[in-house]
Structures are given as structure tokens and as C-alpha cells.
């Protein structure tokens, strides 16, 4: 596999999703459309809020947060006071909600964030836990998806961040296409991770390198399986 696919540095594996601005992995498109059809039959408009994201976009998100230009949140979605945090605390606060450039599953084309177009406009979607539970606008869609997943009727999709493993915050809206993403994770080694960081223009690089082992284990290798 081309390492650039792991790192979000190429679009060669992608196709556009018709009628949207999004790109997805060409081998995932067919099964995504089947999942969307299946949802439609049961009364849901399963739409994508985010799909492929490239390296440069992830770098600018990271660096804005690492410079204090974008709000950091704690586990309960409450704003953190940037001026009170040490560099190490800043790195781990960002990692709870955002990936390092070269480390996002959204680089792979296999992963998407979803919402229910019947109950929310795309512009209203925030992708926060409260949208997906209780009376949240995407709650019914996710209850439906729970059933599909339990019966292996999700066409290869699963939730890699369903439970809190102490790394990335739970994200019920984030789906991954297993036939592709497991092939990527197989070749995503620690040396790929470390080389990517060393060669990057990421802010707080020294702190990230100092904690490289822990970051790799907690934020890249820790996820739920189907
Ligand atoms: Zn996501």
C-alpha cells in the first residue's frame, strides 16, 4: 500500500460521492450506497457530514489548536483555559478530539461521519455526543444502526470509537469501512507514525516526540473492532 494513503497525502484511492462535495475510497462506495439504501427503506436519510480529509487540512486544525487559536474542550465539551495548560496538557487535550496530521482515519477514505438528513440540515450538524443519544436529532438513526450492527447488516461498516478506551473521545457518528481500514491499520506501524511526525511542521513537535509511544498506543492503536 502507498504510504501516502495512510497519511492523507494523495487522493489516488478516492472517488467523488455523487451529489456531494465528499470523496470516499473507491472500494467503499458500493457498500456505502447499500447502507444508505437500507437506512432509507427504514425511514432515515443517512448523510455524510465528513469523509476524506487531507493532510494539510488536519495540519491546520492541529496547529490552530496547538497555538491556542481554536478552542480546546475537556471531556464534557467544556472550554479549557489555554493559558493554564502545560505543553504536554495541550497535546493530550487536542488528541482527545482531534488527530495529528497523518494520523486521522479520515485520511484513508474508509471513514465517514454521518447524520440523519431527515432531522438535521448539514449546516446544523456539530458532531457532538448529545446529537446521537436520547432526544438528539441523530439518536433514532443510531438506534437503527445499533440493530444493523448487532445483526451484521451494516455492509462492512462499524464504529471504531464506540466506547471510551482512554484515547479518542467516543464518537457514535464516526463509521469505518472494515475491509479497507483494517488493511491500513495493518501497515500503520510505529515507525511510519514517528517518521511522519519528524518530517512534519506540526506545532509542539518536541512534546509529541517525547510521548510518541504513548500517543501511538492510545490514539492510533486503541479502537473498537466490529
Ligand atoms: Zn470522524
What would the pLDDT profile of 37-60 be if each residue is shown by its tens digit?
999 999 999 999 999 999 999 999
Q: Which domain holds residue 195?
A: 3-219
206 CA to centre of ligand 1 in angstroms? 26
165 CA to centre of ligand 1 in angstroms? 16
219 CA to centre of ligand 1 in angstroms? 13
52 CA to centre of ligand 1 in angstroms? 9
173 CA to centre of ligand 1 in angstroms? 7
* Residue 164 within any structural domain of the chain: yes
* Residue 53 within any structural domain of the chain: yes
203 CA to centre of ligand 1 in angstroms? 22
Length of the chain: 226
* Residue 224 within any structural domain of the chain: no
Number of domains in the chain: 1
145 CA to centre of ligand 1 in angstroms? 16
* Residue 226 within any structural domain of the chain: no
* Residue 179 within any structural domain of the chain: yes
* Residue 130 within any structural domain of the chain: yes
For 182-226, how does the pLDDT look when each residue is reduced to its tens digit (9 = 90+)?
Answer: 999 999 999 999 999 999 999 999 999 999 999 999 999 998 889
* Residue 80 within any structural domain of the chain: yes
Whole-prediction pTM: 0.94
* Residue 225 within any structural domain of the chain: no
Query: For position 201, which CATH number holds?
Result: 3.30.1380.10
223 CA to centre of ligand 1 in angstroms? 13
Q: Do 15 and 23 form a contact (C-beta atoms < 8 A)?
A: yes
Amino acid at each position: 500500500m502507498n504510504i501516502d494513503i495512510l497519511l492523507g497525502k494523495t487522493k489516488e484511492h478516492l472517488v467523488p460521492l455523487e451529489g456531494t462535495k465528499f470523496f470516499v475510497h473507491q472500494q467503499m462506495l458500493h457498500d456505502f450506497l447499500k447502507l444508505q439504501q437500507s437506512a432509507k427503506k427504514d425511514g432515515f436519510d443517512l448523510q455524510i457530514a465528513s469523509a476524506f480529509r487531507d493532510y494539510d487540512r488536519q495540519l491546520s486544525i492541529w496547529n490552530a489548536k496547538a497555538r491556542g487559536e481554536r478552542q480546546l474542550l475537556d471531556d464534557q465539551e467544556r472550554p479549557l483555559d489555554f493559558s493554564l495548560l502545560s505543553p504536554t496538557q495541550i497535546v493530550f487535550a487536542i488528541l482527545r478530539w482531534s488527530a495529528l496530521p497523518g494520523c486521522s482515519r479520515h485520511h484513508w477514505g474508509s471513514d465517514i461521519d454521518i447524520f440523519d438528513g431527515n432531522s438535521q440540515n448539514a449546516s446544523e450538524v456539530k458532531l457532538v455526543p448529545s446529537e446521537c443519544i436520547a432526544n438528539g436529532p441523530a439518536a433514532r438513526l443510531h438506534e437503527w444502526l445499533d440493530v444493523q450492527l448487532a445483526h451484521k447488516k451494516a455492509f462492512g461498516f462499524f464504529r471504531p470509537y464506540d466506547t471510551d478506551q482512554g484515547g479518542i473521545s467516543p464518537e457514535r457518528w464516526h463509521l469505518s469501512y472494515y475491509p479497507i481500514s483494517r488493511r491500513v491499520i495493518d501497515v500503520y506501524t510505529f515507525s511510519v507514525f514517528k517518521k511522519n511526525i519528524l518530517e512534519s511542521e506540526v506545532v509542539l513537535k518536541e512534546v509529541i516526540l517525547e510521548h510518541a509511544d504513548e500517543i501511538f498506543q492510545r490514539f492510533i492503536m486503541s479502537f473498537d473492532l466490529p
